[in-house]
């Protein structure tokens, strides 16, 4: 009997070793390493690369379709011809001055939400860790509503108030969650509590507003790309140009952080410094994106999860998450126009409905897996 048991154990061990070798071989097949003459090496994952290119193509195609939608419809060929310098003066005005800024704001805001959501979810090691859940969007809303209700500020002042509100909220959450560093679950719990209190402040500010201010505040809070012009393109473009490369440079460190602080520190990652830098960058991205388009919900929550499922790759998937966020937001804006007419349904309403359903599905999945 003992010999039979020993033989079974040896067979099981061989199977386990074979399975491990198979997983390592599969990972090796999925990953390619490119070495340059200067001694640098770059890991390439073909599936992630092709997924990123596909998402980029989808985002650009959705942008072309959005430019061609509206009261003055155009075919994709006409849009591309106008963007490359063709078309008459009327078509140039419609595309260049009226519709292109809206699409660019949508792409930039979606990319900012997507990559910021990936950072929050990686740092907290929680798929629910997004600006919508952690209170940063609510903080930006409070800042914008203070400007609208008490100072009757214009568009630039409202945007500045949203940025300040988001940054102050981020600083408050960092200070409350800090205990020899910022750790995932404490960060999430503090963010959820802060979000609840800030939402109560939003309701209070709405009760203090007159009918005109309340209508304006409610319209801003739904999140919309309507009426965007070139002055609203440059701030998110400048912020994304600086902070997106910064976050991409920390991609390897974020991948190490997913294994835990001790493992990351053993691999040479300065855990506290990296966590603070990437979180500050993500908060700034969320604040500027919210200032540009309003608190558009659930893009930051769903884009990283969808990107990870498409790439099949571990780690934060920062660039695919940014591309997924851009594609989701522009496609949602195009869908709202096609389904409900031009400028009839703000894009934030549609993303809220779809994102709420996705959140329920995510909660059910996490509960079945025993993680919540």
| CA–CA distance, 335 with 300 (Å, rounded to integer) | 19
Place of tokens 């198979």: 22
Helix H segments across the chain? 2-30, 46-67, 76-83, 89-92, 100-124, 131-134, 136-151, 155-177, 184-208, 211-222, 234-249, 251-257, 261-266, 271-293, 299-311, 318-340, 347-368
Of residues 64 and 214, which shows the higher confidence score?
A: 64
Residue 23 has a pLDDT of: 45
Residue 53 has pLDDT above 60, yes or no: yes
Residue 116 has pLDDT above 80, yes or no: yes
Each residue's pLDDT tens digit, 128-177: 777 877 888 888 888 888 888 888 777 778 888 888 888 888 888 888 87
Q: From residue 51, how far is each of 79, 247, 306, 317, 325 by CA, in Å?
A: 26, 20, 11, 11, 13
Each residue's pLDDT tens digit, 85-112: 777 777 888 888 888 898 999 999 999 9
**Mind giving me the DSSP string for 68-87?**
T-SSS---HHHHHHHHTT-S
| CA–CA distance, 234 with 229 (Å, rounded to integer) | 10
Instruction: Decide: 134 and 198 in contact? Cβ < 8 Å.
Output: no
Each residue's pLDDT tens digit, 273-318: 888 888 889 888 988 888 888 888 888 888 888 888 888 777 788 8
Q: Domain 89-368, what architecture?
A: Orthogonal Bundle (1.10)
pTM of the model: 0.81
Q: Map out the domains of the chain as residue ranges.
A: 89-368
Instruction: Decide: 28 and 45 in contact? Cβ < 8 Å.
Output: no
Each residue's pLDDT tens digit, 313-339: 777 888 999 999 999 999 888 888 777
Residue 243 has a pLDDT of: 92
| CA–CA distance, 355 with 329 (Å, rounded to integer) | 11
The candidate with the shortest Cα–Cα distance to 220, out of 137, 283, 302, is 137
Residue 264 has a pLDDT of: 73
Residue 3 has pLDDT above 50, yes or no: no
Each residue's pLDDT tens digit, 13-40: 555 445 444 444 444 445 555 555 554 4
Residue 110 has a pLDDT of: 92
């Amino acid at each position: 009997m003992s010999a039979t048991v020993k033989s079974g154990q040896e067979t099981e061990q061989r199977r386990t070793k074979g399975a491990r070798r198979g997983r390592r071989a599969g990972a090796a097949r999925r990953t390619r390493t490119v070495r340059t003459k200067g001694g640098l090496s770059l890991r390439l994952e073909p599936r992630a690369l092709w997924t990123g290119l596909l998402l980029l193509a989808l985002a650009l195609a959705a942008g072309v379709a959005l430019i061609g939608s509206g009261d003055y419809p155009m075919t994709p060929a006409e849009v591309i011809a106008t963007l490359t310098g063709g078309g008459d003066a009327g078509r140039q005005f419609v595309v260049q001055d009226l519709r292109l800024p809206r699409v660019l704001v949508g792409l930039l805001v979606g990319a900012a939400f997507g990559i910021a959501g990936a950072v929050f979810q990686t740092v907290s090691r929680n798929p629910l860790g997004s600006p919508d859940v952690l209170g940063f969007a609510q903080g930006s809303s409070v800042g914008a509503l203070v400007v609208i209700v008490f100072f009757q500020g214009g568009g630039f002042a409202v945007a500045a108030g949203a940025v300040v509100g988001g940054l102050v909220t981020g600083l408050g959450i960092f200070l409350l969650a800090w205990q020899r560093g910022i750790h995932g679950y404490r960060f999430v719990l503090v963010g959820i509590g802060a979000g609840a209190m800030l939402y109560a402040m939003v309701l209070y500010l709405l009760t203090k507003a007159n009918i005109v201010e309340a209508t304006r505040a409610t319209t801003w809070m739904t999140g919309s790309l309507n009426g965007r012009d070139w002055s609203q393109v440059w701030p998110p473009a400048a912020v994304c140009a600086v902070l997106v490369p910064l976050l991409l440079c920390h991609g390897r460190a974020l991948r190490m952080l997913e294994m835990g602080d001790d493992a990351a520190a053993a691999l040479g990652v300065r855990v506290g410094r990296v966590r603070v830098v990437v979180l500050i960058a993500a908060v700034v991205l969320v604040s500027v994106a919210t200032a540009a388009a309003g608190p558009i919900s659930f893009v930051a929550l769903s884009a990283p999860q969808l990107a990870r499922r498409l790439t099949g790759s571990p780690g934060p998937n920062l660039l695919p998450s940014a591309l997924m966020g851009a594609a989701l937001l522009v496609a949602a804006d195009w869908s709202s126009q096609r389904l409900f007419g031009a400028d009839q349904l703000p894009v934030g309403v549609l993303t809220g409905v779809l994102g709420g359903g996705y959140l329920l599905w995510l909660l059910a999945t996490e509960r079945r897996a025993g993680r919540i």
